[in-house]
Each structure stands twice: as C-alpha cells, then as structure tokens.
Amino acid sequence: MISVKNLSYSYKTAKAQTKALDNVNLEIKKGEWVAVIGPNGSGKSTLARHLNALCLPETGTVTVEGMDTRLPEMIWKIRQKVAFVFQNPDNQLIATTVEEDVAFGPENLGFSPKKIKERVFYALQAVGMEEYRESAPHLLSGGQKQRVAIAGALAMNPDYLVMDEATSMLDPQGRQEVLNTLKNLNENLGLTIIYITHFMEEVVFAHRVVVMESGKIKTMGTPREIFSQGDDLVKMGLDVPEITLLAGKLAKKGWLKKGDILTLDEMVESLCQLR
C-alpha cells in the first residue's frame, strides 16, 4: 500500500512561504479507488505529486510498498509502481502515432521489442483504443487523448494510477469515456486509482473519498457518507451531485424514503417504488 505519515510541505518563494500540506496522514490499499476532493488551494494536487515522488516531503514520510520517496535510489522503482496522468493530455503525448506514444515508457525501461509490443497491445486494449494504434494523437478527441495517456501509463505495468484533475479539460462525453475506462481497470484488473477531481458527480464511483481543506484532511468516508454532509461541503465551496440535491429535497417533502441517492439509477429505482 501507499502510506502517508505526518506529511507537511510548503511552497517557497523569495517573498513568502505557503504551507500546502499540514501533517497529512493517509493509507491507500491496493485495489482501492480513492477520490480526493477539496476547494482550490486545499492541497489535493500537492498530495498527489508526493505519491510518486514528483514532490518530496518537507517533514514526514511517503512510502510506496515500503519504499521511501526521499531516497534517491528508490525514485525510479516508485515511479514504475505509481503512474501519473496529468490534467492536459497534450502535455503527455509526444510521438507521431498512438502506438509509438504508448511504447515510449517500456522502451525507456529497456524492454525487448517483443515485450514492448505485448505491453502496447495490452495497454491499448485495456483502454479500448487498439483500433487507433496507427492514428496521430493530435487528431483524436479529448477523451481519446486522455485514454491514450492512460494507456501510456499502463504500459509501464504500474500498481497505482494517480489521476490529477485528468477530466477537467474534457467535454461530458470525454469525461464519461475516461470514467468508464477507469471503472474497467479498477474492477476487472484490480488497478488502484487515486482520483483528484472537482467534479462531484465523478466521486460516486470511488470506494473512499478524502476531503481536504487548507492543507489538511478534513474528513473521509464512502461517497454516501461524505455527501450526506452536503451543507458542510457547500460551506467549503464544494458542490454536491445534482441528483443527490434533488433526492434530499424530495425526501424532505416525504416523496422519497431516503435522500442519500448518488446515481440516476438509484433515483429511478426509488421513484418506481413509490408506485
């Protein structure tokens, strides 16, 4: 698992020092889907960058399966274990074809041509992009580009995938494509997902939600537990899924038995029971 203990971190400039993380403690187990939410400046992206040693602790520790991110000799192994997908897929796509782009990571790991071909085929198949292997990345839609970026990460054979606001630049269709891909990777391949987002409707797919504020973990729980605290989230400047807000209003009027509904399917089922 990934273990974060007493982690603090500050951004320093010539004129000021800003504390981004303040004594954060968190454990992420293999196979989990952990969503991290919070207002702008809460520290969620800074936390994400510590998970594969893009940032190093000021105080405290981050360990990945026992490997300390502060040890230079461990960084390469850690980054093989923990893959990172950024906000803008164009920043991660560097080759002239999809196949070449996905092969970039395994090539740098020194895999044999046969092994590289196997890794590329597996990764593209896992994200549903094998038919685009000879396409130019710049001709793809936003959702397709992000799925290629995920394939590039998967080709490294990681155990953990960190998604840092990776759907924020996509349209609704692209976001749904990426979410469907992640659900498949988590449920069927057991890939651990650490998902940083400000889209609350995407959080409902997580096993656990971590809520951050001012560099600290304010609370954590299942999506249902977290969204039952709707008023507290709104005070922090966060949204609640629209379907959950609607369910709460209907429950207050006595038209629904429960107001902690997270998805459209749950709403339909609850409404049908009224008959």
217, with CB counted inside 10 A (0-12, 13-18, 19+), is buried
Angle at 234 between CA 227 and CA 261, to 5 degrees: 25
Q: How much is the pLDDT for 57? A: 96
Q: Is the pLDDT at 86 greater than 90, yes or no?
A: no
Give me the mean pLDDT over the 70-87 stretch: 91
CATH number for the domain whose boundaries are 2-238: 3.40.50.300
Band (275; pLDDT cuts 50, 70, 90):
low
Q: How much is the pLDDT for 105? A: 85
Are residues 223 and 237 in contact, defined by beta-carbon separation less than 8 angstroms? no
* Contact partners, residue 120, CB within 8 Å, separation at least 6: 99, 102, 103, 106, 133, 151, 155
pLDDT mean across residues, the chain = 89
Alpha-carbon gap, residue 30 to 224, rounded angstroms: 22
For the chain, which residues make up each domain, given as ranges?
2-238, 241-275
Kindly report, residue by residue over 176-190, the tens digit of the pLDDT.
888 888 898 899 889
Total residue count of the chain as it appears in this document: 275
Q: Is the pLDDT at 202 greater than 90, yes or no?
A: no
Give me the mean pLDDT over the 71-87 stretch: 91
181: tokens are 């891909």
Are residues 102 and 148 in contact, defined by beta-carbon separation less than 8 angstroms? yes
Kindly report, residue by residue over 122-166, the tens digit of the pLDDT.
899 888 899 999 999 989 988 899 889 889 888 888 999 999 988
Rounded to the nearest 5°, which phi and psi values hold at 203?
-70, -25
Give me the mean pLDDT over the 187-211 stretch: 91
Alpha-carbon gap, residue 24 to 86, rounded angstroms: 22
Write out the DSSP string of 29-58.
Answer: -TT-EEEEE-STTSSHHHHHHHTTTSS--S
264-270: which pairs have CB atoms within 8 A and are 24 or more residues apart?
267/243
pTM of structure: 0.86
Give me the mean pLDDT over the 46-61 stretch: 95
Q: How much is the pLDDT for 82? A: 94
Half-sphere exposure (Cβ direction) of 260: Cα atoms closer than 13 Å: 8
